[in-house]
Structure 1
Amino acid sequence: MMRRTLLTVTSTAALLAAGPLAAADVPEGVELAEDQSFSYRELDQPASIDPQLVEGVPGAHVIQQLFEGLMIQDENGQLVPGVATGFEANEDNTEFTFTLRDDARWSNGDPVTAGDFVYAWQRAADPATASTYAWFVELAGIQNAAEIIAGEAEPDTLGVEAVDDHTLRVSLVDPKPWFPQMTAHTTLAPVHQPTIEEHGDAWTNPGNIVSNGAYVLDEMQLNEYWSASKNPEYWDADNVVIEDVSSYIINDTSQALTRWEAGEFDLLEPVPAGSYPRLQEQYPDAAHSTPRLCTYYYTLNQGENGPEALKDPRVRQALALAIDRDVIVDRLLQGGQGSAFTFTPDATDGFVAPEIEHADWTQQERDQRAKELIEEAGYDDLNFDLLFNTDESHRQIATVISQMWSQKLGVETTLQNQEWSTYLDTRREGDFDIARAAWCGDYNEPSTFLGVLRTGVPQNSGSFSNEEYDALLDQAPTAEDREGIYTQAEAILSEEMPVIPIYHYANAFLLDPAIKGFPMNNVENNWYVKNFYRVAEE
C-alpha cells in the first residue's frame, strides 16, 4: 500500500491539486524593467557543470539554472515540484514513486522522461564516470549503489526504474523518509544521454550542451565568465521573467566589491570579511545577512601522506582549542557568523548538539588545556602546511589562526594558496597537512554533515575513520531515537577532532534592490533565477 508523503508545509497532494507552480511570482501592479537580466559574482571557475561530476558551490549555482531535478526548493527551502509533480512512498519509506510532468522538455525539444533520470543516476554511481559525488547515491540509500560504486555490480542494477516515461520508482536499502529532499541535489539531476554519447567529455561545452532547466548555456570563458539565456522549451517558460543570466569569476573579493559598487553585476556573495557593518549602513536596501546551513572548518590529514603528529588526537584537540573563534567572527568577518564547536550547525533540522565541555570554557581555559595537550603529546618544533583556495577572507583567517598557534603552542604554519581546481585536486590526493574546507548541507538533515566524515567518503579528505562513528550512522535511518544517534556521532567528532569547526555561516551579501524574488529564508542558499524579476526604477 502506498501513502502520500508530506514533508513540507506545502503538501505534495496540495501541489498536485493546485496545478503547475509559476516560476516568478510578480505581484499585481508591479512595473517590470525593460532589461530583464541578472548577473552575479562567483569566487571560482566551476570545476565542472556536469551534474554527475560537479563539486562545490560555483558549479552547483550554474547547474541549478541549467538543469532541473525531480524536486526543487522554494524560498523557504521547502520542497516544490521540479520535473516531478509529486511522489508517493510505501509504508516504511523504502520505495518512492515519482510522477513526472508530461510537458517537461530538453532544450532541443526532446521530452524529459523517467529514463533520463535512470541513466543519470546509474551514471553517477558507475565507477567509470569517476564522480566525486558517487558516494551521494550511496548515502541516498538507493539499492545496489554501494555494490556498483565498489565495482561489484553493474550500473543497471541500481534500484531505480522507469515504470513508464512519466513514472520513476526508486527502491532504497533502508527507510529514508527524507529521500525526496535529496532529489533536489545536483548529482541527481537528469542528463541527456544522446548528447553525452555524441560529444563525450565536451558535452557541456556551449553549442553542445542540452539541458532541461529554465536557461541554456551560451558562453563559458575559463576563469572569466559564463552566460545563459532563457530556454524556450522549459515547461514553465511563460512565467520565467529574467531573460539572461551571467556570472563573473572574480577571485579578489575587494575587487569584486568595487565592481559591484560600479554596477557591473547584481549579486555579490559573500562581501569582504569585516565589511558588512559598513555596507549595511551605506547600502541599507542592498545589504543582507541571512542564516546559511554551512560550516567553515579545517580538515586534519590523518592519512598516509599526513604528518605523524596529526594522527595523535591530543595534537588535533590542542590545535582546535587554541583557535579563538570569537576573534574570527566578531572582529574579522563581522557578517553574522557564529562560532562553531560542532561540525553540524545548530540550525539543521533534527539535530541536538551534545554537551561539549570546552564550548563553555573561557578562551583562556581553552588555551591552557591546549598547551597541556601539546606537552602530553611530546612533540617539539611542529610545523604544518596550511592549504586554502584563493580568497582574501581565507587568507586572513589562515593568517590569524597561524598566529594563534604560534603564540600559544609554538606550532609554526606555512600558508599554501592554490586556485580552486588545483586546491580540489590537492585535497582529493591527500597531499596536504591541514586544509581549509567548508561544507554546506545538500539537504536539511544531520546526515548531510555527519555523512561527510564516514570512512572512505571522497569528501573525507583527512581520511578520518572510526568504526563506532560509522556504525552509528548505519543505525540512524531506522532508529527510533534518530536525534540521539546523531548527537552521539557528533560527540565522537568533538573527542577525536578529525576536523576543526571554526564558524557556522551567515550569508552576508549585496543584492541590487531592483532584483526581486531572492530566497532570503532558504538556509541552503539554493536559488533559481527563474524565480527572479527586475523591477523598473522609481
Structure 2
Amino acid sequence: MQMTRMLATTAMALGLAATAQAATVPAGTTLADDQTYTFWLLDAIKSMDPQINTDVEGSDVLRNLFEGLYNEDGNGELVPGVALDHTVSDGGLTYTFNLRDDAQWSDGTPVTANDFVYGWQRLADPANASEYAWYMELMQVANAPQVVAGEMPVDQLGIRAVDDTTLEVTITTPLPYFPQMLVHASTFPVKQSVVEEFGDNWTQAGNLVGNGAYTLVEHQLGERVMMEKNDTYWDAENTVIAQLTALTINDSNQALTRYLAGELDRVDIPAGQYPRLAEEYPDQAKSTPYNCSYIYMLNVGEKGPEALKDVRVRQAMAYAVDRDIIVDRILQGGQRPAYNWTHWAISDFERPALPWADEMDQAQRIEAATALMTEAGYGPDNPLDLRLQYNTSDDHEKIAIAASQMLKAIGINITLDNYEWTIHTDRLQNQDFDMARYAWCGDYNEASTYLDLMTSYSGHNNGEWFNDEYDQVMADSKQAEDPQPLYQQAEGILAAEMPIIPIYHYANVDMISADIQGLPDNNVNNTWYGKDLYRVAQ
C-alpha cells in the first residue's frame, strides 16, 4: 500500500487513500425504507473487549463499536479513522499521528490521544493476560517485550500523548507495514473511566462506551448481538444503516435456510453448495480470495502425545492428507489446496519450492508417508491412536471425517472430538489436545502475520513448537530491506518440521442479499464496516 512506503525525509506526511468514510451512495440510487443489516456468526463471541478478543467474528463486531487510528476501504487501502494522517521521522522509528478533533465517545465526550495510550497499555499489561499482548511486540513498539514480561511498568511502553490530538509511537525497527497493523481491534482506544467504573462488566450492553459508528444495545451470548447507529460518531451524517444484528447459528445449513427465508442478509455457503447456489442465485452467491489458512495444529509440547514429537510422524500425516479431495469434492467454493502456511494471495508473497508438494503426486506422498510411519515404528500391528479436535460446524466435521480416513490409510486411528467454540479454544490454549482444527486470518496483508504466529514468543503457538532457527529467521526479517527470501526460508523450516498440517487457503464463499451494497469485494482481508453499507430499494 502506498502509505506504508518509508520516505527518507524527516516528518514527511504519508498520503492516504480516498478520504470518504461512510456509505458512498451513487447519485440516483433509491434507498430502501428498511436500513438494517443482519449477518451470521457461527460461534459465540468470547469477549467484546478490544484488548481481549482473539477471533475474527469478534473483530467484525468490535470494528463497528470502536474505531482505531485507521480503517480500510473496499480495496484494502488505508483511510482515516480517528487519525487524519501521520508523519514518520527520518529513520522510520517515530510515528506522529494527527487525530481528528471531532471524534467522540458514545457518551458525547471527546476521544483523545490518551485513550489510545490507555488501550495499548492495557494490551501489553501482563495483569490483563491478553493473548494478543504479543501484537505489541510484533509491531516493534519500544519496550513492549519488557512490559509484556512484567519487567517494566506499562507507562514505559513506546506510546505517549503529546496533547489531546497528537499521538506519538516509537518503534525499534522500521516496519514498512506498520500503519497496516493499526486496523486491528487490539489497537483500538478504550475509555479508562468506564473500565474502572464497571470492571469486568464494562463490555455489557448499557455499560459499554465506544467510539465507533454503532453502539451496543443487546448481547445475548450465543444468540445475538444488536447494534444501533451512534449519533455521536464523527461521520454519523453519512452513516445509512441504522441497525446491525448478528445472529449466532452453529449449523451452517440452518443458517443458509434462514438466509433463503429472508432472516439474514449475509451467510457463509456450506461446503459443497456453492456451484448449485451460484447457478440458482448468480447475483447473491460470491467467492473471493480471503486472507485465512486452515490447518491442523499438532501438539508437540510437553502435554502432547509422544508420537507427535517425532518429525517423521508429523511429515507422514501431512503427506497423507489429500487436499484436492477436500477442496474439489467437499468444499467446492474456490478454496485452494494448501501446502504451506501463508495464504497465496498475501501481497508480495511467493511460496518457496517444496519437493513434497511440487514433485510428488498424491500416490507418491502416500508411499512416502507409509515408509516414514514404518521408520517411526508404526504399522498394521502397531497403529497410532490420536484424537482430532474441531469446533462445532458441519463443514469442519466433513473435513475431519475425510482426514481421518486418509490418515487411517497410513496406520493412524483417529478419534474425533467436537467441542463448542469457547471450549475448543480453551482446550487449545491449555494444550489439551493431540491435533486440532485451527485457522488463522491475517491481521494485515503481509506474510509476517502468518509466520510470526509460529515463533516461540507468539501468543497463539498453541502446539508449543519452538525452533531457535525459525525465531532467528523471523527476527532477521524485521531488519531486512527485502524480507521475502527470509519468509520463504521460514516456510521451508515449517515444511521440514511440520508442526502444522496445512489443509487449504480460504475463499470468502457467501450468500449476500442483492439489495445490500457497500461490502468490500476487492479486499483480501474482508474488512467491512456497517457505516459503509446501505440497502437499496427493490
**Shorter-chain-normalised TM-score: which range?**
over 0.9
Q: Is the 8 A contact 1:144 1:159 kept in 2?
A: yes
Letter in 1 for 2:4: L
1:13 to partner: Cα distance? 5.2
Q: Is the 8 A contact 1:428 1:458 kept in 2?
A: no
- Give the equivalent residue in structure 2 for 1:384: 386
1:285 aligns with 2:283: yes
Matches of 1:7 and 1:335 in 2, distance apart? 33
Q: What does 1:499-538 align with in structure 2 at a 5 Å threshold?
A: 499-537=500-538
Matches of 1:12 and 1:74 in 2, distance apart? 20
Matches of 1:100 and 1:432 in 2, distance apart? 45
- Give the equivalent residue in structure 1 for 2:9: none
Aligned length: 528
Q: SS of the counterpart of 2:244?
A: strand
Q: Is the 8 A contact 2:516 2:536 kept in 1?
A: yes
Cα offsets for 1:225-248 (capped at 9, x unmatched): 010100000000000000000010
Matches of 1:535 and 1:480 in 2, distance apart? 47
1:22 to partner: Cα distance? 3.6
Q: SS of the counterpart of 2:202?
A: helix
Q: What does 1:139-178 align with in structure 2 at a 5 Å threshold?
A: 139-178=138-177
Q: What does 1:52-63 align with in structure 2 at a 5 Å threshold?
A: 52-63=51-62
2:400 to 398, 401, 416: 398
Q: SS of the counterpart of 1:6?
A: helix
Q: Is the 8 A contact 1:48 1:59 kept in 2?
A: yes
Letter in 1 for 2:155: D
- Give the equivalent residue in structure 1 for 2:207: 208
Q: SS of the counterpart of 1:183?
A: helix
Q: SS of the counterpart of 1:257?
A: helix
Matches of 1:5 and 1:393 in 2, distance apart? 38
- Give the equivalent residue in structure 2 for 1:102: 101
Matches of 1:412 and 1:22 in 2, distance apart? 53
Q: SS of the counterpart of 2:54?
A: coil
Q: Is the 8 A contact 1:290 1:507 kept in 2?
A: yes
Letter in 2 for 1:127: P
Cα offsets for 1:237-285 (capped at 9, x unmatched): 00000000001000000100110000001000x2110000011011111
Q: Percent identity?
A: 50
Q: Is the 8 A contact 2:4 2:178 kept in 1?
A: no
- Give the equivalent residue in structure 1 for 2:192: 193
Matches of 1:456 and 1:95 in 2, distance apart? 24
Q: Is the 8 A contact 1:5 1:89 kept in 2?
A: no
Q: What does 1:112-511 align with in structure 2 at a 5 Å threshold?
A: 112-268=111-267, 270-360=268-358, 361-379=360-378, 380-406=382-408, 408-511=409-512
Matches of 1:80 and 1:453 in 2, distance apart? 30
Deviation >3 Å, runs of 4+: 11-16
- Give the equivalent residue in structure 1 for 2:8: none
Q: Is the 8 A contact 1:185 1:442 kept in 2?
A: yes
Letter in 2 for 1:411: I
- Give the equivalent residue in structure 1 for 2:3: 6
Q: Is the 8 A contact 1:159 1:171 kept in 2?
A: yes
Q: SS of the counterpart of 2:300?
A: coil
Under a length normalisation based on structure 2, what TM-score does the superposition of the two structures give? Answer: 0.96
- Give the equivalent residue in structure 1 for 2:85: 86
1:15 to partner: Cα distance? 4.6
1:480 to partner: Cα distance? 2.7
Matches of 1:13 and 1:174 in 2, distance apart? 18
Q: SS of the counterpart of 1:364?
A: helix
Matches of 2:13 and 2:60 in 1, distance apart? 25
1:21 to partner: Cα distance? 2.3
Cα offsets for 1:18-61 (capped at 9, x unmatched): 7x524000000000000100000100010101000001112111
RMSD: 1.4
1:12 to partner: Cα distance? 6.8
- The range that moved more, 346-355 or 440-449, is 346-355
Under a length normalisation based on structure 1, what TM-score does the superposition of the two structures give? Answer: 0.96
Q: Is the 8 A contact 1:383 1:411 kept in 2?
A: yes
Q: SS of the counterpart of 1:296?
A: strand
Matches of 2:21 and 2:350 in 1, distance apart? 37
- Gap regions ≥5 residues in structure 2: 6-11
- Gap regions ≥5 residues in structure 1: none
Cα offsets for 1:328-349 (capped at 9, x unmatched): 0000000000000110112112
Matches of 2:537 and 2:418 in 1, distance apart? 43
Q: Is the 8 A contact 2:14 2:87 kept in 1?
A: no
Matches of 2:535 and 2:309 in 1, distance apart? 53
Letter in 2 for 1:193: Q
